[in-house]
């Protein structure tokens, strides 16, 4: 009995201690919120203000880093006709095609984006197998910037950053597993565009040039091949003298 009383006393002491810590934290948060101009008098006020902050954050475009001003002279030195605004428009158009392809589970939306068609098709196949649906609504692009520029082995690569917002939902078996229809998602993407300026130096095994046959999936190992050497399917020829959308990543 004595041990039980000691144990209960320890438990009560721990509960009181944790309660004091919670009150101190709440008091400090209350003071901090009031200093910032929020009216917080009780826990419900605190919850409401947190929800307001969350809502405001969902309406605020993500900032992006870039070195557009620093990199443009170098890029234009290599490509005198380069127009960054045209590439920004191409970036938005390409991402919209990807979003449509994923939402509709239709690979034809990225038919004119051969360098990312295989990866996008794989995602669609995964969605179909897992019975997952995704939705992108009210898509709005905010800012674009040139993040990086590289010229190597016959290939020039420009990496763009862009901030995007949309209503996003991922649904599985009729249940929402990510996103919602009430809060906009603010996010960012990095997108690579490549330009093949010297075909003789290109390493066709490079990740940026991972092209596959749309029919049998075999790798296309030689640039300029118009037909798959395995199944004979016609291959969309890459325009070697234009900036091609080669990859995208949300961050």
Residue 74 reports pLDDT greater than 60: yes
Q: What is the pLDDT of residues 99-155, one digit of tens each?
A: 999 999 999 999 999 889 889 999 999 999 999 999 999 999 999 999 999 999 889
pLDDT tens for 157-193 read 999 999 999 999 999 998 999 998 888 999 999 999 9
Task: Answer with the residue of higher pLDDT: 218 or 70.
Answer: 70
- Among 249, 39, 36, which residue's Cα sits nearest to residue 162? 249
Q: Which residues pair with 191 in a beta bridge?
A: 160, 248
Over residues 206-226, mean pLDDT: 59
Tell me: pLDDT of 243 over 90: yes
pLDDT in tens, 3-18: 667 766 777 778 887 8
At 191 the pLDDT is 97
- CA–CA distance, 94 with 162 (Å, rounded to integer): 12
DSSP H/E element including 133: strand 132-152
Instruction: Give the residue-averaged pLDDT of 210-222.
Output: 61
CA distance to 124, 140, 142, 152, 227, per residue, from 55 (Å): 31, 17, 18, 44, 52
Of 7, 242, 14, the closest CA to residue 114 belongs to 242
């Amino acid at each position: 009995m004595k041990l039980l009383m000691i144990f209960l006393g320890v438990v009560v002491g721990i509960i009181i201690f944790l309660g004091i810590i919670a009150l101190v934290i709440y008091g400090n948060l209350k003071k901090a919120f009031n200093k910032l101009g929020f009216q917080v008098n009780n826990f419900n006020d605190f919850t409401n203000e947190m929800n307001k902050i969350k809502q405001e954050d969902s309406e605020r475009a993500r900032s992006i880093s870039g070195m557009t001003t620093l990199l443009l002279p170098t890029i234009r030195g290599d490509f005198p006709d380069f127009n960054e605004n045209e590439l920004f428009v191409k970036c938005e158009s390409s991402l919209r095609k990807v979003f449509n392809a994923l939402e509709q589970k239709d690979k034809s939306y990225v038919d004119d984006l051969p360098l990312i068609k295989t990866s996008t098709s794989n995602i669609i196949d995964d969605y179909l197998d897992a019975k997952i649906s995704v939705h992108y609504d009210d898509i709005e692009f905010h800012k674009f910037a040139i993040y990086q520029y590289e010229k190597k082995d016959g290939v020039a690569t420009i990496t763009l950053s862009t901030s995007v917002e949309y209503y996003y939902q991922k649904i599985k078996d009729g249940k929402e597993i990510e996103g919602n229809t009430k809060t906009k998602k603010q996010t960012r993407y990095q997108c690579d565009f490549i330009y093949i300026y010297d075909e003789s130096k290109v390493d066709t095994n490079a990740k940026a040039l991972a092209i596959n046959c749309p029919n049998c999936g075999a790798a296309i190992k030689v640039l300029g091949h118009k037909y798959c050497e395995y199944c004979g399917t016609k291959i969309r020829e890459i325009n070697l003298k234009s900036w091609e959308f080669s990859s995208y990543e949300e961050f």
